[in-house]
Structure 1
Amino acid sequence: MFSPTTATGSAINVDDLPLDNSFAELPPAFHTRLMPTPLPAPYFVAASARAAALVGLDPAMLAQDDFVATFTGNHVPPRAKPLAAVYSGHQFGVWAGQLGDGRAILLGQLAGTQGPMELQLKGAGKTPYSRMGDGRAVLRSSIREFLCSEAMAALGIPTTRALVVTGSGQGIFRETVESAAVVTRMAPSFVRFGSFEHWSSRDKPEELRILADYVIATFYPELSGAPNPYQALLQEVTRRTAHMIAHWQAVGFMHGVMNTDNMSILGLTLDYGPFGFMEAFDAQHICNHTDQQGRYSYANQPEVGHWNCYALAQALLALIGSVEEAQDALALYQPAFASKIDELLRAKLGLTTAQEDDAQLFDAMFTLMNDSHVDFTQFFRKLGTLQAGDPAAGAPAAGDPAQDSPLRDMFYVREDFNAWAARYRARLRAEASVDAQRKLAMDRVNPKYVLRNYLAQVAIEKAQNKDFSEVARLLAVLEHPFDEQPHNEHYAALPPDWASHLEVSCSS
């Protein structure tokens, strides 16, 4: 039998994968043990070497037949304890009742360089929680999730990871017939806000306590000694959620479906369904075509994150003990978000000190961007070329206006940009900013490459014709989002005209 090797070079058979499953040790009410449903003739699509390294796997082995079968759900290693978890949640602000893993099956967990990582097969077939669904995922959405998970990680944003994508010729009907696929997702845990809402809504305080104790003991052991560990849990999750959403805002990422069942108890970006990176800046932009009311627009994300934390607080209230203690924990959200977004924006603008009028500078900048619908990613990348003027180097105090052309030309009203740029220059000179040093620092936080919808669509269309080369090329580009990559310059280009017709929705 074929024996692949781990990242350390030792031989391993797929049936010898040292899988464990701490979630499976919870009482049966928390999950349903079941086997994945096989797909016919599975094939390899793509794998992430960086994700594989987290669990000590050689990515080359993931293309081998026995590993393809395993990560499609056609073969289950002996040590696996596959299961689907139950949870509930609010969807688009409305209580949806019981939900659960309707097409995702947790295979088990592997020890990793950063601790145990659960391996979850998304698209592995029906479960008791599938409701009216078929339990499957399609190639289109699986590639999008695979690429975005790894792109977000490269951007330094807390996220679940994607190990491998496999496909099958089996037809799956969405708006039309599409090819089935399975993406293997990785995270320390897939427990969600909705996991707690489930037991709270059913008035099951013992199950609620068991779940909270499991999460604290396994992922937040430092909280176990707190005077009120459950309040401390809410406070830490609130802080992590605020920081995660600040990271989203800073790169122009829009989640699209910020339901409470899609919110990670670890503060990770979870469940890449409809999502998008901002292109022509519009604070009210809605990336999810299904979201007709705009609940999850770019501008609303911070407020919705806060709302979701309130829903979690309500679920944990029986454990926390009092409304006042829950409110004290939630009070951390706004200052945590504000301090993190200010920190990230100062870095994006190359500022090394904090000043009282920074908020006005940022607000004026976003107003200008919104009025002219400038490309989010290109604006911040080009902003590093603006010269403050370094008198010590003999440059004029006002900088070189000719250097502003790449930036100024992005705006409809050049005079408005000039006024803001003068204000920004004054701010830079006040802290003796050095142009060359500042540009290097800004280029380390302002990506040149993000997963634009049209780039994903090109890769998807080729993959639908069994050409997976563009998925691999695009992944390689996105793994180095801050590098110049002269040979990949076209991946940083503005979207072509045909891309304006692309829509993403909850259908996957």
Structure 2
Amino acid sequence: MFNPEATGLLATGDNLNMNAVITVPAAAIPGLTWRNRFAALGPDFFTELQPTPLPSPYWVSRNQALARELGLDEQWFTSQEALALFTGNKVAESSQPLASVYSGHQFGQWAGQLGDGRAILLGELQTAAGPQETQLKGAGLTPYSRMGDGRAVLRSSIREYLCSEAMHGLGIPTTRALCVTGSDAKVRREEIETAAVVTRTAPSFIRFGHFEHFSYSDQHEQLKTLADFVIDSFYPECRDADQPYAALLQAVSERTAIMVAAWQAVGFCHGVMNTDNMSILGLTIDYGPFQFLDAFDPGHICNHSDTQGRYAYNKQPNIAYWNLFCLGQALLPLMDGQEQALAALESYKTVFPQALEGRMRAKLGLSDMLPGDKALIEGVFKLLAADKVDYSIFWRRLGTFEPGAANEAVRDLFLDRPGFDVWSLLYSERLMQADKGLRADLMLKTNPKYVLRNHLGEQAIRAAKLQDFSGVDTLLMLLQAPFEEHPGQEKFAGFPPDWASSIEISCSS
């Protein structure tokens, strides 16, 4: 059994013996019985280990909506027993906790073996929506922690908790977050911070990097085992294809294209699109230095650590393809040559632009496609970029646009008002061919009023550090229904303050 204490790398406040983890009978936890299908793949894929307890844990926030979806008993979910389990201080007896091994390319360079350095998979819950894996992120050292301490801090845990639920509220494929627990245990980053654990769920946490690990280490039998597991569990339609593994690559490419198109349309910057941060299911995963755009800048870099701008907003579509190419290389031992892999990747080049154009037409309130729509979309992006117009506010206000009217609320966002007038005339002419009632409904359901701007997250984090978690819960409520008006909460939908531009987000978490 892996023993974090033996490594001498425990963070301050983590000096609790592994024997302190208590096993709880599964029958004592309503609705919480685990399956362990990933564990059944065999020891080459993971290391079994127990979470490292945190002293005196407390609730930061609980996602009651997700708890209901998972079938958890609501009363139990408020209990001290639930608090202990989702901090890693107790483990259900049906759980088989493990950390998985994977490799990957980081910032374009092969990084070798990586793995779950602080995430521990508890198992898989059976839910009405299908099986859901559940992880504790920040639950202590694993064999893959490298020089890390296996912990997450309150700051980054709150950001991931809120953003994963914000993305879900926006209808973008993502991992989910069930709760955040905290502790006064100290963790050193750029400064001393306090520890936290975020519990996150997904149908699977398998990444491109899992396939790269076994391919680069010439473990082709394990590579096939993993690919077969993914096909049988999540892509059963690929099993009947002439080339199942090429079909898998194509299916992953298309899901990834749809996901990234959704990112671009809503103005989301991921920040660290390494291959080990890419989900095999086309889910947004690993929320680190993310950002929703304030002023529209196509070249915006949200990650302070990304000194070369590799993961800038406008580079995300091509980086996604580059990562898929790496996945294709990893799958080559299971396919009949590189040409087959390249053919499987080709669909990305078709699906992404179609998906993005479809989302942008919806943001404009257009339910059908006509010649000239692409030029209309490109035209507004040029105007937004030239004047660095607030991205979310522009699209929300555009829902009030009326052909032939002055439209001051939208027009006043631009310095180049003559340029906007030229574009608005073209837009007005296009709207004459659209159903007005359908347009208004489509725009209200496509252009969110509330997004997780950096300054909103920062304000909630500052209060949380003082043990005031009300800001976290308020943001969670708004972000789970971002298209609704939420009367009385308009301050969360306004322009960012001047100090917001000075916020720097790095890979440190």
Do the two structures share a fold, i.e. TM-score over 0.5? yes
Matches of 1:236 and 1:303, distance apart in 2: 18
Q: Which moved more, 1:57-66 or 1:31-40?
A: 57-66
Alignment of 1:140-159 (within 5 A): 140-159=155-174
Rounded to whole Å, the distance in 1 between the matches of 2:76 and 2:467 is 20
Output the CA distance in 2 between the equivalents of 1:60 and 1:156: 28
1:247 alignment partner in structure 2: 262
Do the aligned residues in 2 keep the contact of 1:16 with 1:77 (CA within 8 Å)? no
CA distance in 2: counterparts of 1:187 and 1:354, whole angstroms: 34
CA distance in structure 2 between the partners assigned to 1:204 and 1:228 by the alignment: 20
Look up the equivalent residue of 1:54 and give its one-letter code. Answer: E
User: Aligned partners of 2:186 and 2:434: how far apart in 1?
Assistant: 61
Question: How far apart, in 2, do the equivalents of 1:351 and 1:440 lie?
Answer: 11
- Name the counterpart of 1:482: 483
Out of 145, 149, 153, the position equivalent to 1:138 is 153
Q: Which residue of 2 aligns with 1:419?
A: 422
The CA distance in 2 between the partners of 1:296 and 1:119, in whole Å, is 28
Q: How many residues align?
A: 484
Q: Encode CA deviations 1:483-503: one digit per residue, 9 max, x unaligned.
A: 111211111011112222111
Task: Name the residue aligned to 1:212.
Answer: 227
Q: Deviations over 1:222-258 (max 9, x none)?
A: 2111111101100000000000000000100110000
**Cα separation, partners in 2 of 1:153 and 1:59, compared to 1, 3 Å:** farther
Q: What is the alpha-carbon distance in structure 2 between the residues aligned to residue 217 and residue 87 of structure 1?
A: 20
State the Cα distance separating 1:440 from its structure 2 match.
2.4
Aligned counterpart in structure 2 of residue 186 of structure 1, from 181, 185, 201: 201
Amino acid at match of 1:235: Q
Which residues of 2 match residues 344-363 of structure 1 at below 5 A?
344-363=359-378
Distance 1:153 1:25 in 2: 30
User: Does the CA contact (< 8 Å) of 2:161 and 2:177 recur in 1?
Assistant: yes
> Following the alignment from structure 2 to structure 1, what is the Cα–Cα distance between the partners of residues 201 and 334?
29
- Deviation, 1:218, is 1.1
Distance 2:74 2:465 in 1: 22
Instruction: Decide which of 136, 142, 151 is 1:127's aligned counterpart.
Output: 142
Pairing 1:49-64 to 2, within 5 Å after superposition: 49-64=64-79
Runs of 5+ unmatched residues, structure 1: 1-10, 389-398
1:379 positional shift: 0.4
CA contact (8 A) 1:449 1:478 kept: yes
Distance, in Å, in 2 between the alignment partners of 1:256 and 1:356 is 34
Distance in 1 separating the partners of 2:237 and 2:434: 42
What is the Cα deviation at residue 62 of structure 1?
2.6
CA deviations 1:302-329 (Å, max 9, x no partner) are 0001111000000001102211111111
User: 2:367·2:434 contact (CA, 8 Å) conserved in 1?
Assistant: no
**1:358 Cα deviation after fit:** 1.7
- The reply on whether 1:196 has 2:211 as its aligned counterpart is yes
Report the counterpart of residue 503 of structure 1 in structure 2.
504
Tell me how far apart the structure 1 counterparts of residues 31 and 359 of structure 2 sit (CA, whole Å).
Answer: 44
C-alpha separation between the residues in 2 aligned to 1:405 and 1:17? 54
Distance in 1 (CA, whole Å) between partners of 2:190 and 2:299 is 27
Contact 1:62–1:164 (CA under 8 A) maintained in structure 2: no
Shift of 1:13: 2.5
Tell me the residue number matched to 1:428. Answer: 431
Helix, strand or coil: the match of 1:481? coil
- Which residue of structure 1 aligns with residue 49 of structure 2? 34
- Counterpart in 1 of 2:294? 279
Who is 2:441 aligned against?
440
Equivalent in the alignment of 2:381? 366
Work out whether residues 15 and 78 of structure 1, in 8 Å CA contact, stay in contact via their aligned partners in 2.
no
2:354 is equivalent to residue 339 of structure 1: yes
Query: 2:127 — aligned with what?
Result: 112
Q: Does 1:381 align with 2:386?
A: no
Cα deviation code 1:467-490 (max 9, x no counterpart): 111111110111110011121111
Q: 1:161 — aligned with what?
A: 176
Would the alpha carbon gap of residues 197 and 264 (structure 1) be closer, same or farther in structure 2, given more than 3 Å must change? same
> Within 2, Cα distance between the matches of 1:97 and 1:305?
20
Q: Using a 3 Å threshold, how does the CA distance of structure 1 residues 282 and 59 change in structure 2: closer, same or farther?
A: farther
Amino acid at match of 2:465: Q
Query: Residue 421 of structure 1 aligns to which amino acid in structure 2?
Result: S
Q: Following the alignment from structure 2 to structure 1, what is the Cα–Cα distance between the partners of residues 32 and 420?
A: 58
Note if 1:78 corresponds to 2:93: yes
CA offset digits 1:70-129 (Å, max 9, x no partner): 111111111100000000000011110000000000011110111010110000000000
* Closer, same or farther: CA 375–12 of 1 in aligned 2, 3 Å: farther
Aligned AA for 1:445?
T
The separation in 2 between residues aligned to 1:427 and 1:76, in whole angstroms, is 59
Q: Does the CA contact (< 8 Å) of 2:31 and 2:71 recur in 1?
A: no
- The corresponding residue for 1:222 is 237
Q: What are the superposed Cα offsets for residues 318-363 of structure 1, whole Å, 9 maximum, x if unpaired? A: 1022111111110000110011001101100011221232221111
Partner of 1:409: 412
Identify the match of residue 45 of structure 1 among 56, 60, 63. Answer: 60
1:20 aligns with one of 31, 35, 40: 35
Structure 2 partner of 1:3: none
Report deviation, 1:432.
4.2
SS in 1 for 2:504: coil
Q: Which AA in structure 1 matches 2:405?
A: D
- Check if 1:301 corresponds to 2:306: no
SS in 2 for 1:331: helix
2: CA distance, partners of 1:254 / 1:442? 22
What is the percentage of aligned positions where both structures have the same residue?
56
Equivalent residue number for residue 468 of structure 2: 467
Equivalent position SS for 2:218: coil
- Bigger mean CA offset, 349-358 vs 409-418: 349-358
Conserved? CA contact 2:30–2:73, under 8 Å: no
- Tell me, in whole angstroms, the C-alpha distance in 2 between the residues paired with 1:475 and 1:499: 20
4+ aligned runs moved over 4 Å, structure 1: none
Are 1:47 and 1:59, in contact at CA under 8 Å, matched by a contact in 2? no
Residues of 2 paired with 1:412 and 1:266: CA distance? Answer: 42
**What is the DSSP-based 3-state SS (H/G/I as helix, E as strand, rest coil) of the residue aligned with 2:140?**
coil
Q: CA RMSD in A?
A: 1.3
